């Protein structure tokens, strides 16, 4: 078991910060140990200063089920801590709640059920939001449910590595659940008026906003008194990160069909019709074509090309038995990959254990279900993006499953299979552009350890 003395100095700094702030936003890069930092502070607050009596942790499903319990079992100074994991059926969740454990861990999808439908009084005086970015939508059920009980909560901690994955607008809801609107305003309209101006619009209808010139600095100043931020490269000897592209080409006929859908919003392929009703649908359809298959209007999978599968075959062959983690986006990506290669999807706790033990040569994951909190760094050091995502948060978090503390390899390779002159290139550029805002926020509230 690991001991309290094993904590890094920056981790001890963060523990102290949590203990001295009733409200805290902890922006830590993946791999810096957000979970053990929070648990160490929790033990002190529960058993030393007696400032809290019951703690609720809200996390993504697999992180709630696997990561938090594993971390509690790993550390000697947490051995006296009781915990209950409220996932599964309603009956299983209720049984966990009835244990009255020191820490109750629930997946974020069931937060609304806990508060509105469980029938069990909300008696937690400290709440930990493991992935604060899960609360960036102020219209979501989980946001509204948490705000109902927010006055009962004495201490609240928001943890994330990607606080503003889609820009500064995300921050309003995230900080509203933390400080009840004290810093960025009680209402989203107030926040928009103060820091943004209309961007894309159609007459009176505004589709998007862009920050005013002074917005970033002003927002960062407002939140700096309850926020600390650290980059893994500042505090850990991280492995070298190499990002590469494996480019594939469409044939002349395939290029013609791709451009046809792009320009006309309709395409007939192998006797089936594909239509894109709007720009958002079109980007998804073009992304599918770039990957090699597309859903017709009646839901049928229509194969378009095998270029990315051929590229993946080359990559697997070049790996020569070295484990590979492959990220897919569309369901038909997974089906086509499975048909051609012997792969195993990372879904269960056993899958995670087998991957980390080196027993899975080629594993596949979906970023939306495996992005946050899963420790996969023991099983391999190469991630292949078969299909890309527009979400910077999911992209960074998925990469950080391998590029993190505890990675045994000196080098982590992130390989992108990209179809040339398609929407793939635009997605990669968009991810880089979003990262500029992300990096600016991280730098502005960076913790200065004395």
Q: Token digits for 42?
A: 């929790």
Question: Do 395 and 431 contact (CB within 8 A), yes or no?
Answer: yes
Assign 444 a pLDDT band (cuts: 50, 70, 90).
Answer: low
> Burial letters for 61-99: b for 16+ Cβ neighbours within 10 Å, e otherwise?
bbbbbbbbbebbeebebbeebebbbbbeeeeebeebbee
Per-residue pLDDT, averaged over 416-441, amounts to 82
Predicted local confidence at residue 387, as pLDDT:
95
User: 45-82: per-residue pLDDT in tens?
Assistant: 999 999 999 999 999 887 888 889 988 998 999 999 99
Residue 393 half-sphere exposure toward CB, CA atoms < 13 A: 20
CA distance 30 to 33: 7
> Residue 273 above 80 pLDDT?
no
CATH superfamily of 4-234: Tandem AAA-ATPase domain (3.40.50.10810)
What secondary structure letter does DSSP report for 2? B
Phi, psi of 325 (to 5 degrees): -110, 125
Q: What is the pTM of this model?
A: 0.67
Q: Name, in order, each residue with C-beta under 8 angstroms of 13's C-beta and a sequence gap of 6 or more.
A: 447, 449
DSSP class per residue in 197-250: EE-SEETTEE--EEE-TTHHHHHHHHHGGGEEEE-HHHHS-PPEEEEEEEEE--
Assign 345 a pLDDT band (cuts: 50, 70, 90).
Answer: very high
CA distance 34 to 24: 13
CATH superfamily of 237-250+306-419: P-loop containing nucleotide triphosphate hydrolases (3.40.50.300)
| Helix, strand, coil tally for the chain in percent (to 5) | 45, 20, 35
Residues of the chain with CATH 3.40.50.300: 237-250+306-419
**Gap between the terminal Cα atoms of the chain:** 29
Q: Token digits for 237?
A: 């000897």
Predicted local confidence at residue 164, as pLDDT:
72
Q: Name, in order, each residue with C-beta under 8 angstroms of 325's C-beta and a sequence gap of 6 or more.
A: 346, 355, 363, 364, 365, 376, 379, 380, 382, 383, 384, 401, 402
User: 355-410: per-residue pLDDT in tens?
Assistant: 999 999 999 999 987 655 578 888 888 999 999 998 888 898 899 888 877 777 77
Predicted local confidence at residue 378, as pLDDT:
84
For the chain, what's the residue count?
450
Residues of the chain with CATH 3.40.50.10810: 4-234
């Amino acid at each position: 078991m690991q001991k309290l003395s094993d904590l890094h100095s920056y981790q001890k700094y963060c523990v102290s910060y949590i203990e001295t702030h009733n409200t805290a936003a902890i922006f830590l890069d993946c791999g810096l140990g957000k979970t053990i930092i929070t648990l160490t502070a929790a033990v002190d607050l529960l058993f030393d200063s007696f400032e809290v009596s019951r703690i609720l942790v809200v996390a993504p499903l697999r992180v709630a089920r696997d990561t938090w319990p594993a971390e509690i079992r790993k550390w000697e100074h947490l051995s006296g801590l009781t915990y209950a994991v409220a996932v599964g059926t309603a009956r299983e969740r209720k049984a966990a709640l009835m244990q009255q454990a020191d820490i109750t861990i629930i997946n974020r999808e069931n937060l609304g059920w806990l508060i509105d439908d469980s029938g069990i009084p909300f008696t937690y005086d400290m709440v930990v939001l493991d992935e604060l970015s899960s609360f960036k939508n102020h219209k979501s059920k989980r946001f509204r449910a948490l705000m109902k009980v927010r006055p009962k909560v004495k201490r609240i901690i928001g943890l994330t590595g990607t606080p503003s994955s889609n820009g500064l607008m995300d921050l309003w809801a995230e900080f509203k659940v933390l400080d009840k609107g004290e810093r960025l305003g009680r209402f989203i309209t107030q926040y928009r008026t103060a820091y943004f101006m209309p961007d894309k619009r159609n007459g009176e209808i505004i589709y998007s906003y862009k920050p005013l010139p002074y917005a970033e600095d002003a927002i960062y100043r407002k939140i700096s008194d309850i926020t600390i931020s650290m980059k893994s490269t500042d505090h850990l000897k991280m492995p070298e990160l190499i990002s590469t592209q494996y480019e594939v080409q469409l044939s002349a006929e395939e290029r013609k069909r791709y451009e046809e859908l792009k320009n006309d919003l309709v395409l007939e392929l192998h006797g089936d019709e594909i239509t894109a009703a709007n720009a958002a649908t079109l980007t998804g359809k073009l992304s599918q074509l770039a990957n090699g298959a597309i859903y017709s209007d009646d839901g049928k999978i229509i194969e378009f090309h095998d270029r990315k599968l051929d590229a993946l075959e080359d990559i697997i062959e070049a790996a020569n038995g070295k484990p590979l983690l492959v990220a897919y986006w569309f369901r038909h990506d997974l089906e086509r990959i499975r048909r051609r290669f012997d792969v195993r999807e990372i879904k269960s706790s056993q899958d995670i254990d087998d991957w980390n033990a080196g027993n899975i040569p080629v594993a596949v994951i979906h970023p939306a279900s495996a992005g946050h909190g899963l420790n996969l760094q023991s099983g391999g050091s190469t991630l292949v993006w078969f299909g890309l995502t527009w979400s910077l948060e999911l992209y960074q978090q998925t990469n950080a499953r391998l590029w993190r503390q505890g990675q045994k390899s000196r080098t982590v390779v992130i390989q992108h299979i990209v179809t040339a002159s398609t929407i793939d290139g635009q997605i990669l550029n968009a991810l880089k552009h979003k990262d500029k805002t992300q990096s600016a926020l991280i730098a502005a509230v960076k913790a200065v350890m004395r």
